A and B are shown apart, each in its own frame.
Chain A
Amino acid sequence: MATLPAEVLARRSARRRRREAIVTHVCLIIGVLIFAFPIYLAVIGSTHSASTIGRGDVPLLPGPDAVANYAQAWGTGGGRFMGVPAGGMLINSLVMATLIAAGKIAISLTSAYAIAFFRFPLRMVFFWLIFITLMLPVEVRIIPTFQVMVSLGMTNSMQGLVVPLIASATATLLFRQFFLTIPDEYVEAAKIDGAGPLRFFVDILLPLSRTNIAALFVILFIYGWNQYLWPLLIVNDRSLETIVVGLTKMIGSGDSQNEWNVIMATAMLAMLPPVGVVLLMQRWFVKGLTETEK
């Protein structure tokens, strides 16, 4: 093949690079539009009055009523008959999701520690028992769980919201797998240094697991935040209502006009804490997924 002059080749390479950049950007922009458009609609919806949305045409530009809508959502809530302020529901959700995530991590860390590092009778039986619970979805055991909660008098309480969701087979499994990758030498070095099981756990295992803990915290927090069925069942007291349940209750069954503006505003508020957690934990989260510190 004849060699082309250098500047022709250089121009050709530059064109090729530009073409690649354009293609990737077009793909990305399409993707972002698909993901972002509904959220954009919700944001816009939260800035118009109820009657504007009620007329049926969907505005694509921000309207003048943002302050009023968010004030109503935060302070008094939507829905004609039984509005609950979003502020209280956000706090309920925040407490519930944090307790669930923290509880799941604490319990699964300790049980994974036991399974991965100690030899005791029936160890594998316990492991499989935990593992098998993975195969039962929440909905299957929701009636017996409800019965248990009623017997324990935990309905209408924060414990009732949190306790049934606080054990996690998935997290236990993930931590066990992570613990198995930790070289035996650390355990042995700690033994020779004189560290007992508890000190090893606190001084060495926890610091080594912190990126995994952060990553799991994000996932479990969002899992807790998005809980719908269980909070709907166990709590009647509206002062304990979580934002996800409250949001759906704001949408009426058709008898009355929905206050879509307030619903949108509440939905936006409901998104903020999970987004905050993701942003806050992002550094750790990405680290936990990509890099192992060994």
Chain B
Amino acid sequence: MATLTLTGVRKSFGTNPVLHGVDLDVRDGEMIVVVGASGCGKSTLLRIVAGLETATAGRVMIGDQDVTALEPADRDVAMVFQNYALYPHMSVFQNMAYGLKIRGLPKPEIIRRVDEAAALLDIGTLLERKPRQLSGGQRQRVAMGRAIVREPKLFLFDEPLSNLDAKLRVQMRAEIRRLQKRLGVTSLFVTHDQVEAMTLGDRLVVMHAGHAAQIATPMEVWERPADTYVAGFIGSPSMNFLAATLEQGGAAARLGNDLVLPFADGPRTGKAGQKLTLGIRPEHLRPQAGGLRVMIELVEPLGAESLLHGRLPDGAEMTVKLAGAVHPDGELEVMPMAEALHVFDGETGKRIEPLDQSTTR
């Protein structure tokens, strides 16, 4: 168990920069989920922490120890791979014991630890089997077991759930979270799945194009996304974005169709006429006359609610989530809930906080 500190970690492959300086402080026992689209550098970040890649610049500290220059074996970390990487010729027991054997632990200690982990993961009856005789979920558990028996300072998960079917994924997700809490081992979990990220993490690192776009708790990321990328990435279906300009001394925004939306949480600084991007989640739109006119193109009934996909008169896409299985084809007028409006800078995409709250961030 330990803390993990990344300072200004950069990585280039040849001349191609992948990470542009990532800073991260992970507290002891914390579960951090690194989430982002493919190619954002999240796996590279994990591999740098594991020691499988060397950072071009920056520092990696585990606890008080600078491990930047250390080999994976000397970092005392354990990793769960996407395809599990169980050695096919070894039994489950041998797979789990291999790392301990190399470290020269006495046999009784190895057996004790493997049995303990096997009991914890409910794979005690599988110890003599070969990986190919196991189902996907069982392999996943063995891969976890291999990490647990090591009793490492750090767990690293590289998209470990993406090879499982949907039902197992949900089940293993909960199990990983339970185990991690119970063992209290500091963990870094990489995924591209935002639902996994929201449910698993104490905090999220949303990666975008080699930067950590936002590091915060899942609810904070959802409620106060740092920029339009994070806002669009977290939440399903994605947030709607509307072009607007600042009005009324920063107290409201004017949309393209001259609809003026006042800010419920206070005025923003900025010149009148400054370009803004307004974000509104599909579930924060209500049908109301005099709102935005949406031409509905597709209705997806989901049971408890319905998704309506459509376009504004200017062609911008708009998704609306309404309760129940109602709903019309044709046209619908919707109004954003003022308190759920997100305001971003129209040029940089950065979030603009209201004046009286800007100090808390």
Contacts and interface: CB of A to CB of B under 8 A. Distances in A.
Interface of A: 183, 185-186, 188-189, 191-196, 199, 203-204, 207-208, 293-294
Nearest to B99: A193
Contacts of B222: none
Interface of B: 50-52, 71-73, 77-79, 81-85, 87-90, 98-99, 102-103, 132, 146
Max chain B Cβ within 10 angstroms of own Cβ: one of A191, A196, A294: A191
A1 B114 CA distance: 68
Q: Which of A193, A195, A199 has the most CB of B within 10 A?
A: A193
A207 B131 CA distance: 15
Nearest to A208: B89
Given A185-B81, A189-B81, A194 B87 contact: no
A275 B73 CA distance: 47
Given A183-B85, A186-B87, A194 B99 contact: yes
A193 B77 contact: no
Given A191-B71, A192-B50, A199-B102, A293 B89 contact: yes
Q: Which 3 A-B pairs have the closest CB atoms?
A: A185-B85, A193-B99, A194-B73
B85 A191 contact: no
A186 B52 contact: no
Contacts of B51: 191-192
What is the predominant secondary structure among interface residues of chain B facing chain A? loop
A82 B146 CA distance: 67
A189 B88 contact: no
Contacts of A199: 102
A136 B218 CA distance: 65
Nearest to A210: B89
Given A185-B81, A188-B79, A191-B72, A294 B88 contact: yes
Contacts of B85: 183, 185-186, 188-189
Contact of A192 (B73, B87, B90): B73
Contacts of B71: 191
Residue from B50, B71, B82, B98 having most chain A Cβ neighbours under 10 A: B98
A207 B52 CA distance: 24
B89 A194 contact: no
A191 B73 contact: yes
27 contacts: A185-B82, A186-B87, A188-B50, A188-B52, A188-B72, A188-B81, A188-B85, A189-B85, A191-B51, A191-B52, A191-B71, A192-B51, A192-B72, A192-B73, A192-B77, A193-B98, A193-B99, A193-B146, A194-B99, A194-B103, A195-B73, A195-B98, A204-B87, A207-B90, A293-B89, A293-B132, A294-B88
